[in-house]
Amino acid sequence: MVVSVQTTMNKALLLMLFMVFYNGASSNGLGVGATITTARPDVVNIGAIFTFDSVIGKIAKVAIALAVEDVNSDPQILNGTKLTLKMQNTKSSDFLGIIEALQFMENDTVAIIGPQFSATAHVISHIADELKVPLLSFAATDPTLSPTQFPFLVRTTRSDLFQMTAVADLVGYYEWRDVIAIYVNDDFGRNAIAALGDKLYEKRCKISYKVPLNPKATKDEITKALVSVSSMESRILILHIYTSWGLQVLTEARNLMMMASGYVWIATDWFSTIIDTDPSLPFVSTDDIQGVLTLKMYTPESELKKKFKSRWSNLTSARRVNGSSFGLNTYGLYAYDSVRHLAVALDSFFARGGNISFSTDSNLNELRGGKLNLDALNMFNGGSQLLQSILEVNTTGLTGPIKFNPDGNLINPAFEVINVIGTGTRTIGYWSNSSGLSLDPPEKPQRKLQSNGSSIGIQRLYSVIWPGQTTQKPRGWVFPDNGRKLRIGVPNRVSCREFVGVKGTEFTGYCIEVFQAALNELPYGVPYKFVPFGDGKKNPDNNELLHMIQIGEFDGVVGDITITTSRTKMVDFTQPYIESGLVVVAPIRKLNSSAWAFLRPFTPMMWGVTGIFFLVVGTVVWILERRTNEDFRGPPRNQFVTIIWFSFSTLFFSQKEKTDSTLGRFVLIIWLFVVLIINSSYTASLTSILTVEQLSSPIKGIESLATGNDPIGFPNGSYVGKYLTDELNIHSSRLVPLNLPEEFEKALKDGPSAGGVAAVVHERAYMELFLSVRCGYSIVGQEFTKMGWGFAFPRDSPLATDMSTAVLKLSEKGDLQKIRDKWLMKSACSAQGAKQSVDRLPLKSFWGLFLLSGIACFLALLLHVIRLVHQFYRYSDSCCESPQSRRLRSFVSFANKREQEVNSRPKRRRTEKASTKIVHESV
């Protein structure tokens, strides 16, 4: 009986312990129906979602199976725990991918390898985030799949952000500006091309045309899209599509003659994936893919990779004989590494005390009992801990180092740049995120140096065989609608036909000839025809002419078109082919001869300072010489005359007085140098005044014109009037619009008093032509703007860049100047000169010389005073009996003595002392 009671009590105690444990488990969030594993399990369920029959999927299927087999056969990875893999075929359907992912969540799956497509990953990632099941995608490259938005999606391959950076670097390396993007119209394509656009913008390039294709595009849709591309200007085509029908695009492009010379095809890594999967393709479709550039995710060579390739070759040889191609592509390597990556993370997860446990999601409680059976979905309780272990993995696999950076991307992204040549492919270089394009693999970013210190290779990429079997880099663009000639607008001017002349179908003039010469410098032909703009009765408005480019009426404009800030917002200009800043033209008159013309070279201030310095230098030399030089002594009246005579005689280097002292000679030599410069400048200026500068105008330039009240003429319809009012604040009431050169001449001749103008403001090129046959007028003052004329083309036109280069070549060869001399050089008034105002020499031009002379005088006087004081003390000691009497002696009286007298007194005093001493000794 006692034993029976004890047994009952033990059972009750065990029941209570079980209840406590059960309640504790429930309170920890496991919930009813939770599956609990407290130790390292024997089996872990993982899943895989991808399309089995795709180019990537059929390789990934074998690679994933091999990876699971290798993990289970290696006891050191999971310490006896086995992976149980279940693979689901999505059949390229996003819907099936979602359903299959939900099925995995019902079967206690701790992680899923996949999905393959980016669009599927966007949807499944939400499920994974809710149920805490990590996704390891080896093929979803959409750059917008960020860990911030989808924390449980781990990308175990390279993001397309890096691939598009490599494409942008290729475009920038070959100096192309516009590209056309052909892409699949889904998350995979749209987001990658958006990233490409951002990277091209950093290179000052752009996508000029986008061609989105249906994810299941038909042959007719592809052909229609390519036809629209063929009419575009750009010939740089970026192809970012699926492997399932990518080759069909290239085939249709060949049928449309779009694989010929001049085209550039840059395919993303889908193309290299096809080539690696089916190496026989280049031999079958050589003509379709010849010259194509493609990228391939770079995986460094290693002993582990070599062994796996050999094993793969042996494994798939039987299948290849049966007709199926099983070449190992890069995505297969990443799929294999994804499984091993997960296995290493699981081992770390278990080592940290993690356990496999699942519970129902409380957010699905309201959906219990439905026909969809959503309440059967289980949440992985250790999902966050496993995710952390996955992100912290640091190991090495077939693809190289496996480690994530803080952004959730694998470290050291790199790509090979491959060129399809003949019947094979050739790697022409590499791209890495750290060094950009390079000839060396990323693990050797630094080029080796030769013994002389120079780099072995200057080019960053090897040469390319482009479509059409050419090695010359394609220009990258053509004229749209090749059958149509470019319509080049030409202003039908009434005046100044030397610049642009239109007579029927004949177009002549300086601007026309420069344009034609520049076209001859281009390495290609440009079909064009000139189209006159204007009625021929008045000069057309250049802004209206440029507007015709904006609306597509003209493909370019040739003429006297000034490049201004506002106009550069409308069109693109070439380099200026002629400078034409604004100048002021006014009537001029000959200067009358005058008896006082000799005073005109110097300003009054210059004359005054020069005269003062003559007197100062003469006085300084007198002070320095009067004690030793008899020429500077005598009565005060004679000494004053000597100072005046000596000072001004130095102007002609005819001074008769000699200088004996060293300080006097020092001052004189500096002053004679100053006099030489002043004399030479005076002579040159006076000669210019009396021989060349014979013309004068009351207007000295734009400053004096702007501050006055006289009317100002300007060309009607040009930007000059707006510039004068906006920039120089000249009231519009003072501006008089003029049309023809004859009107300019009449208005200037009449002057302000007779209803004319005081001056005309116009561009230098026009005014030089105007003045070449009108000698009564001239340019006054300086040119106050720096502008030029250029040829105009539509915005972002590559022809504008090439024409700029051609203009620079014409300038370097001297042809530009020859054309200008032919049309614009006139000799009727060429002797008048361009600047007609007389410039007088001011004091500021010589202040340095005067400063030098002043310093020399000051130093000489200072040294003379010091020497004089020293001599005074010696003299006082030698000639005075008592100190008191020596210090009372007048210093002025001493300074007036001759040098010989001062020097002889101490000698006599010493002789007298010696005689006195001898007499005393004798006594």
Q: What is the pLDDT of residues 507-536, one digit of tens each?
A: 999 999 999 999 999 888 888 999 999 888
- 123 dihedral zone (left: phi>0; alpha: psi -120 to 50; beta): alpha
- Helices 55-73 and 330-351: crossing angle, nearest 10°? 40
Is the confidence at residue 908, as pLDDT, over 70?
A: no
3-class SS of residue 814: coil
State yes or no: pLDDT of 838 exceeds 60: no
Whether 410 maps to a domain, the answer reads no
Angle at 802 between CA 799 and CA 808, to 5 degrees: 140
Residue 648 shares a structural domain with residue 700: no
> Do 709 and 644 fall into the same domain?
no
What is the tens place of the pLDDT at every residue in 646-679?
766 776 665 666 676 777 778 778 877 888 888 8
Instruction: Record the tokens describing residue 330, joined without a space.
Output: 């890069």
Higher-pLDDT residue of 621, 41: 41
**CATH number for the domain including 356?**
3.40.50.2300
Q: Which amino acid would we find at residue 859?
A: L
CATH number at residue 752: 3.40.190
Q: Is residue 621 part of a domain?
A: yes
Tokens of 799: 């022809």
586 closest CA partner among 740, 723, 452, 701: 701
Burial environment of residue 782 by CB neighbours within 10 A (0 to 12, 13 to 18, 19 or more): middle
pLDDT (0 to 100) of residue 325? 59
Which residue is listed with tokens 């002629």? 578
- Among 6-15, 271-280, 573-582, 701-710, the range of highest mean pLDDT: 573-582
Mean pLDDT of the chain: 81
Contacts of residue 49, Cβ cutoff 8 Å, sequence gap at least 6: 87, 88, 90, 97, 100, 101, 104, 112, 113, 114, 115, 116, 120, 124
Residue 481 lies in a domain: no
Question: DSSP letter string over 431-450?
Answer: EETTTEEESS-TT--SPPB-
Rounded CA gap, 574 and 397, in Å? 54
What global pTM score does this model have?
0.69
- Shared domain check, 715 and 659: no
Amino acid at 562: T
pLDDT of 895 strictly over 70 = no
890 lies in a domain? no
| Domain presence at residue 171 | no
- What's the pLDDT score for residue 29? 36
**Same domain membership, residue 800 and residue 760:** no
Out of 670, 691, 712, a domain closes at 691
pLDDT of residue 842: 63
**Length reported for the chain:** 923
pLDDT on residue 4? 41
Mean pLDDT of 162-184: 94
Residue 715 and residue 632 share a domain: no
Asked if residue 629 and residue 682 are part of one domain, the reply reads yes
Say if residue 841's pLDDT is above 70. no
Residue 371 DSSP SS3: coil
pLDDT-derived band at 338 (thresholds 50, 70, 90) equals very high
| CB-based burial label for 291 (10 Å; 0-12, 13-18, 19+) | buried
Task: Determine contact, residues 232/208, Cβ cutoff 8 Å.
Answer: yes
| HEC string for 877-891 | HHHCCCHHHHHHCCH
Count of CB atoms within 10 A of residue 340's CB? 20
Q: Which residue has the tokens 């001052």?
A: 667
Query: 89-121 burial, b if ≥16 CB within 10 A, otherwise e?
Result: bbebebebbbebbbbbbeebbbbbbbbbbbbbb
Domain count, the chain: 4
CB atoms within 10 A of CB 202: 11
Do 48 and 143 share a structural domain?
Answer: yes
- If asked whether residues 55 and 136 sit together in one domain, one would say yes
- Per DSSP bridges, beta strands 436-438 and 424-432 are antiparallel
Helix (H, G, I), strand (E, B) or coil at 710: coil
Counting beta carbons within 10 angstroms of the beta carbon of residue 876, is it exposed (0 to 12), middle (13 to 18) or buried (19 or more)? middle
* Predicted confidence (pLDDT) at residue 843 exceeds the cutoff of 70: no
Spatial CA neighbour of 265 closest among 242, 295, 243, 285: 295
b/e 835-846 (16+ beta carbons within 10 angstroms → b): ebbbeebebeeb
What pLDDT does residue 12 have?
Answer: 37
Give the residue from 697, 699, 695 showing the smallest Cα distance to 707: 699
326, 24 in Cβ contact below 8 A? Answer: no
| pLDDT band per the 50, 70, 90 thresholds, residue 430 | very high
CA 318/CA 303 separation, integer angstroms: 25
Q: Within this chain, do residues 801 and 719 fall inside the same structural domain, yes or no?
A: no
Establish if 848 belongs to a structural domain. no
* 721-730 tens-digit pLDDT: 888 998 888 9
**What is the phi-psi region of residue 164: left when phi exceeds 0, alpha when psi lies from -120 to 50, beta otherwise?**
alpha
Does residue 73 sit in the same domain as residue 133? yes
Question: CB-based contacts of 174: which residues, under 8 Å, 6+ apart?
Answer: 264, 473, 476
Is residue 17 very low, low, confident or very high in pLDDT (cuts 50, 70, 90)?
A: very low
Token couple for 226 = 């390519």
The 10s digit of each residue's pLDDT in 770-828 is: 888 888 888 888 888 888 999 999 988 888 988 999 999 999 999 999 998 888 876 54
Name the residue range of residue 617's domain.
597-691
Distance CA 173, CA 262 (A): 17
pLDDT of residue 916: 58
Average pLDDT over residues 684-707: 72
Q: Is the model's pLDDT at 693 over the cut of 80?
A: no
Contact residues for 396 (Cβ-Cβ < 8 A; gap 6+): 302, 304, 402
User: Smallest Cα–Cα separation from 533: which of 486, 488, 484, 485?
Assistant: 488
Maximum average pLDDT range among 59-68, 714-723, 743-752: 59-68
The string over 431-463, giving b where at least 16 C-beta atoms fall within 10 Å of a residue's C-beta and e elsewhere, is bbbeebbbbbbbeeeeeeeeeeeeeeeeebbee
Last residue of a domain, one of 752, 780, 808: 780
Confidence at residue 150, expressed as pLDDT on a 0 to 100 scale: 94
Q: What is the pLDDT of residue 139?
A: 94
Q: Is residue 923 part of a domain?
A: no
Q: Where are the beta strands (DSSP E) in 234-387?
A: 236-240, 264-267, 293-297, 358-360, 378-380
Question: Is 322 part of a structural domain of the chain?
Answer: no
What is the three-class DSSP state of 208?
A: strand
The CATH number given to whatever domain includes residue 505 is 3.40.190.10
Residue 223: the pLDDT is: 94
My answer on whether 687 and 699 are in the same domain is: no
Helix (H, G, I), strand (E, B) or coil at 146: coil
Q: How far is CA 764 from the centre of its chain?
A: 33
| pLDDT recorded at residue 901 | 60
The average pLDDT across 109-124 equals: 93
Q: Tell me whether the omega of the peptide bond preceding residue 441 falls within 30 degrees of 0, making it cis.
A: no
Q: What is the pLDDT of residue 854?
A: 75
196-209 per-position pLDDT tens digit: 999 999 998 999 99
The CA distance from 748 to 757, in Å, is: 5
Residue 54 pLDDT > 70:
yes
User: Is residue 499 within 8 Å of 478, Cβ to Cβ?
Assistant: no
Give per-residue pLDDT as tens, 362-411. Answer: 776 666 655 666 667 888 999 999 999 999 999 999 999 999 999 999 99
Residue 495 and residue 552 in one domain: yes
